[in-house]
């Protein structure tokens, strides 16, 4: 099934998304990968606020190439999500509701997704040039010194992704590995 969804996502909308569905996302999303997650975890540990209000938001695990003159952003595809697994359950418990990346997640992340009624999307790895066309605005909002790993606020239009882990805990990758998917 195909869905056109707009951020911030609500739990009602997420409840309609099922593993294997395709989505087109429009609105604001935030980038954060390894180093930014580490800093956010440190901030929380020190009792400091996160650099943006993550409630109801989507984090895109992505570090772009520099934008060429006249471009909004460079190549901008997903990175492997499992490297963020250590930090993710805490963020989900604090209100993060969606993630875009690629690859498998840990059981702890899966549990936190179900507990919080959240969703994990995959974007196509290796399609960074194509995906950059769905990004119409980009600005660094925190941790600028991290370069490509800084937190960016992106404005996306019809950003294509696939529901890999839905709020019920169904895991598309697992279904493919077990040969039980209806995808093909």
Name the β-bridge partners of 60.
31, 100
CB of 145 to other proteins, least distance (A): 9
3-state helix, strand, coil in the chain (%, to 5): 30, 30, 45
CB of 55 to other proteins, least distance (A): 27
CB of 64 to other proteins, least distance (A): 5
Nearer to other proteins, 8 or 143 (CB): 143
Neighbouring C-beta atoms of residue 107, cutoff 10 Å: 9
CA dist., res. 6 & res. 4, Å (int): 7
Nearer to other proteins, 47 or 182 (CB): 182
CA dist., res. 2 & res. 70, Å (int): 32
Nearer to other proteins, 12 or 184 (CB): 184
List residues near other proteins by CB under 8 A: 35, 62-68, 71, 74-77, 79-80, 82, 102-104, 122, 124-133, 146-149, 160, 162, 172-173, 176-177, 179, 181, 183-184
CA dist., res. 30 & res. 82, Å (int): 18
CB of 16 to other proteins, least distance (A): 20
């Amino acid at each position: 099934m195909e869905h056109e969804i707009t951020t911030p996502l609500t739990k009602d909308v997420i409840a309609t998304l099922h593993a294997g569905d395709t989505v087109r996302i429009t609105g604001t999303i935030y980038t954060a990968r390894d180093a930014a997650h580490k800093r956010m975890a440190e901030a929380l540990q020190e009792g400091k606020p996160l650099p943006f209000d993550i409630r109801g938001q989507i984090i895109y695990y992505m570090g772009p190439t520099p934008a060429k003159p006249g471009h909004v952003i460079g190549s901008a595809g997903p990175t492997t999500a499992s490297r963020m697994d250590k930090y993710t359950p805490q963020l989900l418990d604090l209100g993060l509701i969606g993630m875009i990346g690629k690859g498998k997640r840990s059981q702890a992340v899966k549990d936190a997704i179900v507990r919080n009624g959240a969703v994990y999307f995959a974007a196509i790895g290796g399609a960074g040039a194509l995906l950059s066309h769905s990004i119409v605005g980009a600005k660094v909002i925190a941790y600028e010194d991290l370069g490509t790993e800084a937190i960016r606020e992106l404005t996306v239009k019809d950003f294509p992704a696939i529901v890999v882990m839905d709020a019920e805990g169904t895991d598309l990758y697992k279904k493919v590995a077990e040969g039980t998917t209806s995808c093909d």
